[in-house]
Amino acid sequence: MLMMTITPVMDTAIGGITMDSFVLCGTVATAILIIFLIMKELFDTSDKRHHRYAVQALDTMILPFFAVFAVMVAYKVLQVISL
């Protein structure tokens, strides 16, 4: 009985995710990546100790956004090659 109620709910939830929402998320992730990279470069030029800690934290935060960006670029390249 439980499976009969969960299946339509999951179908509706998954069906509501469109390619436009993926494009929007990718665009936002790219913008955040650019902001983090700018902040990292600004903090990296400073000699203050707490700025070095900020650079280390930004290195950790940049990795997931870079991964999203790399997947987006790979997807776009595959789209162009398949044409």
On the question of pLDDT at 17 being above 90, the answer is no
Q: Tens digit of pLDDT for each residue in 44-73?
A: 888 888 888 888 899 899 998 898 889 888
Confidence category of residue 39, pLDDT binned at 50, 70, 90 = very high
Task: Please provide the size of the chain in residues.
Answer: 83
Parse the chain into domains and list their residue ranges. 18-82
Q: What pLDDT is recorded for position 23? A: 74
Would you say 34 and 68 are in contact if contact means Cβ atoms under 8 Å apart?
Answer: no
Q: How far is CA 33 from CA 4, 14, 79, in A?
A: 42, 27, 23
**Entry pTM:** 0.67
Q: What pLDDT is recorded for position 18? A: 61
pLDDT higher at 59 or 14: 59
